[in-house]
Amino acid sequence: MRFPFKPIPISLFTALFVALFLLLLFFFGRIAYLEIDDLENKFQAASKARAEREIQRALNLSIEHIEAQTEQLAKWEEVGQQLHNSMFYSYWYRHRAKTNHLISQHIIDVALYDLQGRMLSLIDTALLPESIEVQQVSDYVLMNQFEPLLVVIRPVWDAKGESLQGYVATLSRIIPQFLSSGQFNLVDIGTLSVDIGNTDRIASHELFGAIHYELISDDYADTLKRVMTESVLRLAGMAAILSLIIFPLAARIMSRPILQISQHIDLLKKHSKATVTSSFQQPLLIRELDKIRQSLNDYHNQLSDANTNLDEKRRQLNDLTQLDPLTGVRSRAAFDEYWNEINDVFQHSRGQVCLILFDLDHFKAVNDTYGHEVGDEVLIAVSQTLKNTLSDQEQLFRLGGDEFMAVLIGVNARKAMQIAKQVHLAFSRYPFKEIGILEPIRLSMGIAHTKPDNQASLASLQWQVNVATYQAKRPGQPNIILFTEEMANHAQGLFSSRTHSAVFDAISQGTGLIMHYQPIVNLENGEAQYFEALVRIVHEGKLIMPSHIFPLVEAKGLEVDLDRQVILKIESDLRSGLIPPGTGVSINLSAPCIIENELFDWLEALSPYMNDYKILLEITETAMITQMQKARAHLSRLQSMGFRIALDDFGSGYSSLRYLGNMPVDVVKFDINLTRLIDSQGKNPILNHLAQMIVECGHLLVAEGIESATSARQLGRLGFQYGQGYYFGKPAATIVKPALDRGYAEFSA
Ligand code: C2E
Ligand code: MG
Ligand code: MG
């Protein structure tokens, strides 16, 4: 998996870790602080509860105390007397009521009320109210200049306790009484206050709720909180400082050996043969990384061992590739090396260099027919012949397949030609029959040599020798060809990659493939009997001719594919009515196509036309037909399908008579060269007899390459029924009626 971002350095990771750690520290510190706060709140709540109890107790005691005094007053006989007779009430009030032993100093006023609740006598200094409500007597608290005062009212009964005399009321300063009644450990009494709100009085039991105070500050809780907070802060601060020191330090300790390893790998990358440096022999601080260091060193040692082995193997392989194992001749690799050396030398001192390229004809067919072992023997025979014929100064190489190259230094074209002829002679004497090969095997040779006046000739010498060999391989050409400049122009087109692709497009898809038709006439009356279909490829407005098509086709083994396209094209020409009904079509088939099993299906497509047309199949005689038996069987089957078989180019190549004897043939087409021989040596008895013999064997004879009326006439006399040649008509895209001029009229006369 690939990360979509750049790799991160350890330092940045460390910074991130530190930041994260500090964040966590802050988070936990905050939690600890809140816990301490919570603890403090709990402490305060407990103190408050205790303080409330302190207040409640003191309040109860002080109220009870004042109530008790008021009740004692109610029982005091002087009170009864005053209620009974209130004449001296103001005297009594002033001198007895507040000075008697029954009331404490905190009772600041006392008053007596009759049964209706009216004060016995109005006294202007009295603090208590002038009347009270007797229906519902109750104690209450009122505020006097921010001081709460408690009013306690008690009924006064007669001595027997049977009849109500009136009421006694006391007014007390409750706070001083309250303070003297209780013990306050938690309540800060200085902060004590009473607030009864907007009303003028509250019931005495409501007083507790109206008291406000603050707690005495709790030293213990405060100290605890301070100590705890300080501890948390100190711990967090220490952890933060440590993280700022420890993380970067740890990262540095970790990254240093990693960096060392990476630098070492870089060193090994730059110098694959570098030995392990002494610094990398020292153990690393971290065990796991040290294990990597050891493994790396081991791996490096293994690698350098393998490198040494590889170098050795490469050397051995180099030696091996210099020699071709089959023939013992030096290899293509050796040739390339040698050629480079020659180029170097040639740049300083100009000398004559000559190349001869040897190429076996139809070597693939030999392999297919006789098997690879025999094929190998043929190659050995070639190399033996070449070794025996060439001198020690002449360097021989096998370039691959059936191609051998001789490099001759200081040799001119004439001498090279001589050498090639010697090779040809020696090769033609080789007893191929002994290894079971009956057909003669042809060795094509191209020669190219440097010219003193041409600077670039060495660079193009290999190309030139190929062109020459190509020419030598063409049918009807001598097997030894010396490269000439005219050939160069001709070959430019032939070797151009555009020509190649045009040919291959035609073969694979039929693109640009057309047929030209040349009449084959009855020599008696000059009427066209057949039209020979001859293939052409239209490319960039020009025609590519068979002489250019076939070398490519044969080199790639595409003969069958080409013939397939030709049959399709002829079928469409027949369908379009191009060829006049009542005549015939002559189709050339290559040797590999004869033994192709699908040929019958392809030709079957022509059967609908066989009522209107005769169809002749020409088997070229120059190509070596392999698998004789199969070829014979196929030809017989084709005959039974209604096709006629012609042996083409008779007399131009291999074993003409052998084919004639072996193959079911209806027509024999004399090759143009043979025709010309008959023509020029009209009285040559052997040729005349050969022609007669063929006719007598029941074959129809066709003469190719008739270019004059005289030839036509002479050949007619020799028994040739048919003739073909420029005299009657050149191959053309349209059907041309044979244009018989005066010459032919003479002849027929
Ligand atoms: P071929 O079958 O022997 O065809 C006759 C060749 O001789 C033709 O050459 C033709 O143009 C040429 N020719 C005819 N009359 C004269 C004459 O009076 N004087 C001279 N100098 N030449 C004449 P082309 O068309 O270049 O074909 C060359 C060869 O290519 C053919 O020889 C045949 O072997 C092969 N070929 C042509 N078309 C096909 C094809 O469709 N399939 C196969 N397999 N081979 C073909
Ligand atoms: Mg032909
Ligand atoms: Mg021919």
Residue 245 pLDDT exceeds 70: yes
* Same domain, residue pair 592 and 486: no
Could you say which of 496, 522, 548 is where a domain stops? 496
Asked if 658 contacts 692 with a C-beta cutoff of 8 angstroms, the reply is no
How many domains, in total, are found in the chain?
3
Query: Phi and psi (nearest 5°) for 48?
Result: -65, -40
State whether the beta carbon of 534 lies less than 6 angstroms from ligand 1.
Answer: yes
State whether the beta carbon of 475 lies less than 6 angstroms from ligand 1.
Answer: no
Residue 749 pLDDT exceeds 50: no
The larger pLDDT score, comparing residue 28 to residue 263, is at 28
Residue 100 pLDDT exceeds 70: yes
State whether the beta carbon of 679 lies less than 6 angstroms from ligand 1.
Answer: no
Q: Which of 704, 708, 710, 744 has most ligand 1 atoms within 8 Å of its beta carbon, as the pocket-test mutant?
A: 704
Residue 618 pLDDT exceeds 90: yes
Strand 187-194, strand 353-360: pairing: unpaired
Could you say which of 455, 480, 496 is where a domain stops? 496
Residue 499 pLDDT exceeds 90: no
C-alpha of 722 from chain center:
68
| Amino acid making up residue 517 | Y
Structure confidence at residue 385 as a pLDDT band (50, 70, 90): very high
Give the contacts of 716 (CB within 8 A, at least 6 positions apart).
523, 524, 723, 747
Nearest alpha carbon, ligand 1 atom 22: 705
Atom of ligand 1 nearest to the CA of 549: 30
| Amino acid making up residue 305 | D
* Same domain, residue pair 743 and 664: yes
* Same domain, residue pair 469 and 580: no
Residue 252 lies in a domain: no
CATH number for the domain harbouring residue 721: 3.20.20.450
* Spatial distance between the Cα atoms of 527 and 342, rounded to a whole number of angstroms: 63
| Closest-CA residue to 213 (of 178, 179, 196, 188) | 188
Question: For residue 702, which ligand has an atom nearest its CA?
Answer: 3
Rounded mean pLDDT, 282-292: 83
Nearest alpha carbon, ligand 1 atom 42: 588
Read out DSSP for 497-518?
A: HHHHHHHHHHHHH-TTEEEEEE
| Amino acid making up residue 442 | R
Q: Which of 588, 593, 599 has most ligand 1 atoms within 8 Å of its beta carbon, as the pocket-test mutant?
A: 588
Per-residue model confidence as pLDDT tens digits over 456-480: 567 788 888 988 998 888 766 789 9
Residue 226 pLDDT exceeds 70: yes
| Closest-CA residue to 416 (of 446, 437, 442) | 446
In the prediction, which pLDDT does 651 show? 79
* Spatial distance between the Cα atoms of 384 and 390, rounded to a whole number of angstroms: 10
In the prediction, which pLDDT does 575 show? 95
Residue 395 lies in a domain: yes
Q: How far apart are the CA of 704 and the centre of ligand 3, in A?
A: 6
Rounded mean pLDDT, 608-618: 96
* Same domain, residue pair 535 and 425: no
* Same domain, residue pair 48 and 118: yes
In the prediction, which pLDDT does 493 show? 59
Per-residue model confidence as pLDDT tens digits over 318-335: 677 788 889 999 998 899
Residue 1 lies in a domain: no
Rounded mean pLDDT, 246-261: 84
Nearest alpha carbon, ligand 1 atom 11: 731
Nearest alpha carbon, ligand 1 atom 17: 705
* Spatial distance between the Cα atoms of 362 and 402, rounded to a whole number of angstroms: 10
Q: How far apart are the CA of 618 and the centre of ligand 2, in A?
A: 6
* Spatial distance between the Cα atoms of 595 and 572, rounded to a whole number of angstroms: 24
Instruction: Show the domain range for 199.
Output: 35-216
In the prediction, which pLDDT does 642 show? 96
State whether the beta carbon of 563 lies less than 6 angstroms from ligand 1.
Answer: yes
Nearest alpha carbon, ligand 1 atom 33: 588
State whether the beta carbon of 621 lies less than 6 angstroms from ligand 1.
Answer: no
Residue 656 pLDDT exceeds 80: no
Residue 702 pLDDT exceeds 90: yes
Q: What is the DSSP letter of 279?
A: G
Q: How far apart are the CA of 218 and the centre of ligand 3, in A?
A: 132
| Amino acid making up residue 593 | C
Residue 498 pLDDT exceeds 50: yes
| Amino acid making up residue 499 | T
* Spatial distance between the Cα atoms of 167 and 487, rounded to a whole number of angstroms: 160
Per-residue model confidence as pLDDT tens digits over 166-212: 999 999 999 998 888 888 888 888 898 899 988 989 999 999 999 99
Structure confidence at residue 696 as a pLDDT band (50, 70, 90): confident
In the prediction, which pLDDT does 716 show? 86
CATH number for the domain harbouring residue 400: 3.30.70.270
CATH number for the domain harbouring residue 134: 3.30.450.20
* Same domain, residue pair 489 and 530: no
Asked if 647 contacts 663 with a C-beta cutoff of 8 angstroms, the reply is yes
* Same domain, residue pair 621 and 707: yes
* Terminal Cα distance for the chain, rounded: 94
Q: Considering the chain, what percentage of its residues have pLDDT values greater than 70?
A: 92
The larger pLDDT score, comparing residue 7 to residue 631, is at 631
Rounded mean pLDDT, 430-442: 84
Give the contacts of 244 (CB within 8 A, at least 6 positions apart).
18
* Same domain, residue pair 557 and 590: yes
Structure confidence at residue 365 as a pLDDT band (50, 70, 90): confident
Rounded mean pLDDT, 367-372: 82
* Spatial distance between the Cα atoms of 353 and 457, rounded to a whole number of angstroms: 10
Q: How far apart are the CA of 621 and the centre of ligand 2, in A?
A: 10
Give the contacts of 337 (CB within 8 A, at least 6 positions apart).
322
Phi-psi region of 540 (alpha: psi -120 to 50; beta: other; left: phi over 0): left
Per-residue model confidence as pLDDT tens digits over 349-359: 777 899 999 99
* Same domain, residue pair 509 and 373: no
- Across the beta sheet with 403-409, the strand order is 395-400, 403-409, 353-360, 443-449, 480-482
Give the contacts of 230 (CB within 8 A, at least 6 positions apart).
none
* Same domain, residue pair 404 and 516: no
Strand 480-482, strand 443-449: pairing: parallel
Taking CA atoms, 478 is separated from 40, 225, 444, 475, 483, in Å, by 121, 120, 8, 9, 13
Residue 722 pLDDT exceeds 90: yes
Residue 125 pLDDT exceeds 60: yes
Residue 613 lies in a domain: yes
Longest dimension (CA), the chain: 204
Q: Which residue has the tokens 């040639």?
A: 346
* Spatial distance between the Cα atoms of 480 and 477, rounded to a whole number of angstroms: 8
Count the Cβ atoms, other than its own, within 10 Å of residue 725.
22
In the prediction, which pLDDT does 631 show? 87
Could you say which of 183, 216, 249 is where a domain stops? 216
Nearest alpha carbon, ligand 1 atom 4: 534
Question: For residue 616, which ligand has an atom nearest its CA?
Answer: 2
Residue 535 lies in a domain: yes
Residue 742 pLDDT exceeds 50: no
Global pTM reads: 0.49
Asked if 531 contacts 723 with a C-beta cutoff of 8 angstroms, the reply is no
Rounded mean pLDDT, 376-400: 92
Per-residue model confidence as pLDDT tens digits over 443-459: 999 999 987 666 556 77
In the prediction, which pLDDT does 612 show? 95
Mean pLDDT (the chain) is: 86
Nearest alpha carbon, ligand 1 atom 38: 534
Q: What is the DSSP letter of 95?
A: I
State whether the beta carbon of 649 lies less than 6 angstroms from ligand 1.
Answer: yes
Structure confidence at residue 272 as a pLDDT band (50, 70, 90): low
Q: How far apart are the CA of 671 and the centre of ligand 3, in A?
A: 6
State whether the beta carbon of 622 lies less than 6 angstroms from ligand 1.
Answer: no
Structure confidence at residue 490 as a pLDDT band (50, 70, 90): low
Give the contacts of 83 (CB within 8 A, at least 6 positions apart).
112, 114, 120, 156, 165, 166
Residue 29 lies in a domain: no
Residue 33 pLDDT exceeds 60: yes
In the prediction, which pLDDT does 748 show? 47
* Same domain, residue pair 157 and 190: yes
Q: Which of 534, 649, 650, 676 has most ligand 1 atoms within 8 Å of its beta carbon, as the pocket-test mutant?
A: 534
Residue 254 lies in a domain: no
Taking CA atoms, 746 is separated from 154, 225, 749, in Å, by 183, 145, 5
Poorest-pLDDT segment among 356-365, 372-381, 389-398, 682-691: 682-691
Phi-psi region of 401 (alpha: psi -120 to 50; beta: other; left: phi over 0): left
Atom of ligand 1 nearest to the CA of 727: 18
Asked if 691 contacts 701 with a C-beta cutoff of 8 angstroms, the reply is yes
Strand 164-173, strand 353-360: pairing: unpaired
Read out DSSP for 625-647?
A: PP-HHHHHHHHHHHHHTT-EEEE
Residue 496 pLDDT exceeds 90: no
* Same domain, residue pair 621 and 667: yes
Residue 555 lies in a domain: yes
